[in-house]
Amino acid sequence: MLVEQLDAYNQAGLHISRPNTQNDLGNILSDMGLSRLCDDIVVDVLQPLGALLYEAHGGASLNSHHSFTVVYRPQDFKGLPMHYDRGSNVTLNVSIGKVFTGGSLTFCGIRDASNYTKVAGKCQHRVGRAMIHLGFHRHGSCPVTQTPFLPPFF
């Protein structure tokens, strides 16, 4: 239903704000009237998971979000360079799009740690699944090689 809503919103020709400095295509969910949904996800999903997984990093006290989608089209998206999510204690990536290949997330170390630039592992996005990580865990995205997907970030 969310993908249908995004498609309808984008086809209506309404103003679309750029979701962040690395992505041109996507939607800020609060601009679409979805702030309440995102607030509920923070309280019902992210706070309990954050408390369990990242208590030492403020995971139990999550109280805000910058929720958006991005569109990664194979013809346009060549991957995201390694970065961390500024201002994010905990990041939730949910793949809500259509079938795709590629787009895996590569993780290095935590910002300011000695292993900050060393690759620690990769995780493959799958439609309908979520990944949660510290916002200051250095990561980057590999290119999408087939069909678009829309992971929102909280």
Helices (H), 30-142: 35-41, 47-54
Q: pLDDT > 70: what percent of the chain?
A: 92
Listed as ranges, residues in the chain with pLDDT below 50 are: 148-149, 153-154
The span from the CA of 25 to the CA of 8, in Å, is 15
pLDDT at 90: 92
Task: Give residue-wise pLDDT tens across range 12-33.
Answer: 877 777 777 777 778 889 988 8
pLDDT at 147: 59
* SS3 call for 134: strand
Mean pLDDT across the chain, nearest whole number?
83
Task: Give residue-wise pLDDT tens across range 105-123.
Answer: 899 988 888 888 898 899 8
pLDDT at 54: 93
For the residues of 70-100, what is the DSSP string, one character each? E-B-TTT---EEEE--TT-SEEEEE--SS--
pTM: 0.80
